[in-house]
Structure 1
Amino acid sequence: MTTADRLRAEGEARGEAKGRREALLELLSLKFGGVPATVVSTVGDADSAQLKAWSARVLTAGSLDEVFRG
């Protein structure tokens, strides 16, 4: 893998994670109303696997706490 390929892959991964963060925050806002700054920070610090899990939980959670529990 060339340096350019590696940099491209890293950029794509960062872009994907950013998109997941934005989508999760939008879903949380639509379902639960305003999203506290602590939740925004938590989402901002999460890795892709955690973001994916939380995004799936939004569908069945009755509260913000239920999304982030577990």
Structure 2
Amino acid sequence: MFGSNELRQTRFYQDVFAEGKEEGIQEAKLEAIPQLLGFGLSIEQIAQALGFDEQAVRQAAQPKS
């Protein structure tokens, strides 16, 4: 049976952890878009700064219903 330290050293654990971390970073960037728009940044500026295409920024800027 794996202990927690041995489990953390497996490639599977590291891959899953890295993937979750990346998803969290992307989600945080998307959540920041409405606030950045409120500061007066353009869609183009936000897309360039966050590494998204303009369509993704427009979608994230729309109010969620």
Q: Which category describes the TM-score, using the shorter chain as reference length?
A: 0.5 to 0.7
Using the size of structure 2 for normalisation, the TM-score is: 0.53
Using the size of structure 1 for normalisation, the TM-score is: 0.50
**Greater relative CO (CA pairs within 8 A, separation 6+):** 1
Count of matched residue positions in the alignment of Structure 1 and Structure 2: 44
Amino-acid identity (%)? 11
Match of 1:35 in 2: 42
What is the alpha-carbon root mean square deviation over aligned residues? 2.2
Which consecutive unaligned segments of at least 5 residues does structure 2 have? 1-8, 53-65
Deviation at 1:40, TM superposition (A): 1.7
Runs of 4+ residues over 3 Å off in structure 1:
none
User: Rg bigger for which structure?
Assistant: 2
Deviation at 1:38, TM superposition (A): 2.5
Match of 1:26 in 2: 34
Which consecutive unaligned segments of at least 5 residues does structure 1 have? 46-70
Distance 1:35 1:19 in 2: 20
2:51 maps to which of 30, 34, 44: 44
1:9 aligns with 2:17: yes
